[in-house]
Structure 1
Amino acid sequence: MTGPKGTEVAVVGAGLIGLFSAHYLLDRGYAVSLVEAGAPGGGAARVNGGWVCPARSDPMPSWGVVRDGMRALASPSGGSFFLHPAAVPGVAGYLARFVANAPASRFARSWDELDVLNRQTASLVDRLVEAGIISDLQDEGFLMLHSTREEAEASWASLAAVSRRGLAPAPEPIVGREALLELEPGLGPASQFGFLHRGDRWLNPSRLVDALVESVLSRGARLVTEAPVRAVRQRAQRVELDTPAGVVEAEHAVVAAGAWSESLLRPLGVRGYVTPGKGYSFSVHPEHPPTHVLRLGGTHVGLTPMGDRTRVVGMVEFDGKRDGVHQGRIDLMKRLAAPYLAGIDWEASTDERVGPRPMTPDGKPLIGSVPGSDRVVVATGHNMLGLTLGAATGRLVADLVATGPAAAVRAFDPMRFSRGPLRRG
């Protein structure tokens, strides 16, 4: 269903997925309106680790994460996945499907399917660099730090297996503390063994948001801010977006509202179980700023160099909310990270924030048309991979708007959790 040049497309959400969708729709000649509840780059778009990491884009549902979640119910003292007991009833449907996707065979299949997008990431990002939209891409490598050789060897073997997927070279040899200090002088006593793993890259996500906004506006896109979409309605030849400021009409719509998508999707017949998982981040100012991304053993904490500061990221929290910083989570990340690093005043941290990640039960996004209509395309549920999968998603969205079901990828079918008694409203 290819529309003529100038056909109107309204994109719900001006986060990374919405902005990438607008970018590729404009490339095809569509007239784009971005309708955003707040300001561009809300949600998780600006507060993530900035990793463009196709080699690390494994789906979250796994037995290891299930174990973390169970432990968090009893004692929230560590792990990658914090689940508040009070939140369990509200996310029970999500959790049941998450556990069903945790077995090794399903995990492996989901990872293979994510690589349909991952394999496009490097070339699409390179083109964005050539276009001047990405200006600060870094590729010095990820430095994996461990307190014991045994732990380092297990980590090395895991990443060697990941590299065989073809998205990154094999990790470099394991080295001891003296060699690590030559790479990064600001390491603490827990950093005894480690190795470099190259291939994945990083950037400042807030700078990317601003560059994408500037680019799409310069090419004629319209940006409507402070306009939360309350409903998406399909008409015969149009789509209507209901906002407090009035109705926005277009010939096509793209629902890319991140962690806010589920309430818009269910009236359209899509039950995606898109559930907000709060990702934590804050900034520190080390005496010796790192020059690599640092991954700190089994802590699930990572550090990203971002100019005059270093961003600390890690962990996902399910408490039934999209915002609200629990200081205990920040404090825990600091306690876990401190032994690996030296020369940091942890009490002087800044930018302590959470970003709601749109989590799905199988770790894969929802990308495709809603039932009964090619005029509304869903593009949400990217879990913690919105930056890595964003460009490939945007290009797929443009294909779906242009050609309808012919461009659909079955693995990302928005209806995959909706089969059965749920009917389209």
Structure 2
Amino acid sequence: MPAGEVAVVGGGLIGLFSAHSLLERGYAVTILEAGTLGGGASRVNGGWVCPARSDPLPSWGVVRDGMRSLTSPDSGSFFLHAGALPRVAGYLARFLASSGAGRFSRSWDELDLLNGRTAGLVDELVEVGIIDGLQDEGFLMLHSTRDEAEASWASLRAVSRRGLCPAPEPIVGRPALLELEPGLGDAAQFGFVHRGDRWLDPSRLVDRLAASLSSRGARFVTDTQVRAVRQRGTRVELATGSGVVEASHAVIAAGAWSEQLLRPLGIRGYVTPGKGYSFTIQPEHPPTHVLRLGDTHVGVTPMGDRTRVVGMVELDGTAEGLHAGRVDVMKRKAAPYLSGIDWRASTDEQVGPRPMTPDGKPLIGCAPGADRIVVATGHNMLGLSLAAPTASLVAELVVRGRAAAVPAFDPMRFTRRRG
């Protein structure tokens, strides 16, 4: 007999990984998804499993980029729309408060409570065949000047001291870079390989996870929006447009759409959609490494017969809607680093809303006064990297309740401080 029934709200990576961990604990699981499985940002990201690059977003550099973008839309990688400022003011005020060096450092240490478990848990999923196609040829960091390359190298050398990745390989010049990747453009003058982070095709991962869950008895209810979640005694009720679903526990993993479910529970998480963009190119010489293009904050990921370009964080107060101008900015930034590409022939231009929190850390824990409702959202740009350790913590919270809580990820941390 199942240990209980858990309703998971959200069929993205966090919801699907959580369902996997709950099935492993003996629970019956129903996944409720407002659209289709893997919606939001789950299928359209860079596919990076990158604990070494899991630093929190709030920092003075990002604040600077956001301010500049209000008057110069082509600058930086963090775009704010002036018209959206009233809608995201609460998030931005807390983001600013989290951006100082001390808060940034503490948040990164706390994220490592999850990051430190990522590699091992992902390896376990590879062993059982749920994850396949995981690539580890390394990330090739590209720069136009040696000074930039040395600064980047030093930064990643410092990251390696956190114990989540090896030190970067030595810096090399353009001839050696072209031996690694013949399709590099003139801006790629210096660079180095950094290993430890891996990548995969996230859409394939969603499909494989869904197939595995289905084969083990999980039930999927798609095109069904959950409007409210409430605990009544030892049961949880989930109100949908087609009726009420009951379970012993619920997990709120609705990504960028989570805030509307959190507020009625007394949680002000300030989960705000941060749009990320991606598109596909067909290089004459497809890369074999993930490419990081200088200080452009644009990345290039090889995915089998496709090459995906990813980047940007855009706050316009909405979770949907692609702005073609953002794609054009990414192309202009990437073009000097790559050759043999017809940028006009790009395909699969997509946008995915990432669930952003003001301090760059997820909200994971029990709802106030409702131990049977577990919150698991707000993973910013780290959903794929943090999905497996988050799912393990979610299962512990369902089994043990508040006794399994990790204070760093308390869903009430903004509510208590600012009301």
TM-score, normalised relative to structure 2: 0.99
> Which amino acid counterpart does residue 171 of structure 2 have in structure 1?
I
Q: Could you tell me how far apart the structure 2 residues matched to 1:344 and 1:290 are?
A: 12
1:194 aligns with 2:191: yes
Q: Identify unmatched segments of 5+ residues in structure 1.
A: none
Q: 1:120 aligns with which of 94, 117, 129?
A: 117
Give the 3 Å change call, closer, same or farther, for CA 421–159 of structure 1 in structure 2.
closer
1:155 aligns with 2:152: yes
Deviations 1:343-391 (CA, angstroms, capped at 9, x unpaired): 1111110110000000000000000000011100000000000000000
Aligned-pair CA distance for 1:244: 1.0
Helix, strand or coil: the match of 1:331? helix
Q: 2:200 aligns with which of 178, 182, 203?
A: 203
Helix, strand or coil: the match of 2:226? coil
**1:74 corresponds to which residue?**
71
Deviations 1:301-359 (CA, angstroms, capped at 9, x unpaired): 00000011100001100001111111110001000000000011111101100000000
Helix, strand or coil: the match of 1:110? helix
Q: 1:402 aligns with which of 393, 399, 404?
A: 399
Q: How does 1:346-361 map to 2 (within 5 A)?
A: 346-361=343-358
Q: Could you tell me how far apart the structure 1 residues matched to 2:45 and 2:407 are?
A: 28
**1:5 corresponds to which residue?**
2
Q: Could you tell me how far apart the structure 2 residues matched to 1:218 and 1:202 are?
A: 25
**1:92 corresponds to which residue?**
89
Aligned-pair CA distance for 1:6: 3.6
Q: 1:411 aligns with which of 401, 405, 408?
A: 408
1:385 aligns with 2:379: no
> Which amino acid counterpart does residue 40 of structure 1 have in structure 2?
L
> Which amino acid counterpart does residue 180 of structure 1 have in structure 2?
L
Helix, strand or coil: the match of 1:316? strand
Q: Could you tell me how far apart the structure 1 residues matched to 2:260 and 2:208 are?
A: 29
> Which amino acid counterpart does residue 395 of structure 2 have in structure 1?
A
1:277 aligns with 2:278: no
**2:34 corresponds to which residue?**
37
Helix, strand or coil: the match of 2:370? coil
1:327 aligns with 2:324: yes
1:176 aligns with 2:177: no
Moved over 2 A (4+): none
Q: Could you tell me how far apart the structure 1 residues matched to 2:228 and 2:164 are?
A: 39
> Which amino acid counterpart does residue 17 of structure 2 have in structure 1?
F
TM-score, normalised relative to structure 1: 0.98
**2:251 corresponds to which residue?**
254
Aligned-pair CA distance for 1:420: 5.9
The answer to whether the 8 A contact 1:187-1:342 is kept is yes
> Which amino acid counterpart does residue 5 of structure 1 have in structure 2?
P
**2:223 corresponds to which residue?**
226
Equivalences, count? 419
**2:241 corresponds to which residue?**
244
The answer to whether the 8 A contact 1:9-1:252 is kept is yes
Identity rate, percent:
77
RMSD after superposition? 0.9
Aligned-pair CA distance for 1:421: 7.7
Give the 3 Å change call, closer, same or farther, for CA 420–104 of structure 1 in structure 2.
closer
Q: Could you tell me how far apart the structure 2 residues matched to 1:380 and 1:178 are?
A: 44
Deviations 1:235-292 (CA, angstroms, capped at 9, x unpaired): 1121111111211110100000000000000000110000000000001010100000
The answer to whether the 8 A contact 1:54-1:118 is kept is yes
Q: Identify unmatched segments of 5+ residues in structure 2.
A: none
Q: Could you tell me how far apart the structure 2 residues matched to 1:359 and 1:11 are?
A: 20
Give the 3 Å change call, closer, same or farther, for CA 115–421 of structure 1 in structure 2.
closer
Q: Could you tell me how far apart the structure 2 residues matched to 1:345 and 1:46 are?
A: 24
1:167 aligns with 2:164: yes
Deviations 1:64-113 (CA, angstroms, capped at 9, x unpaired): 00000000011111212000000100000000000000000000000000
Q: Could you tell me how far apart the structure 2 residues matched to 1:156 and 1:421 are?
A: 39
Q: Could you tell me how far apart the structure 2 residues matched to 1:421 and 1:133 are?
A: 42
Q: 1:375 aligns with which of 362, 372, 377?
A: 372
Q: Could you tell me how far apart the structure 2 residues matched to 1:253 and 1:60 are?
A: 29
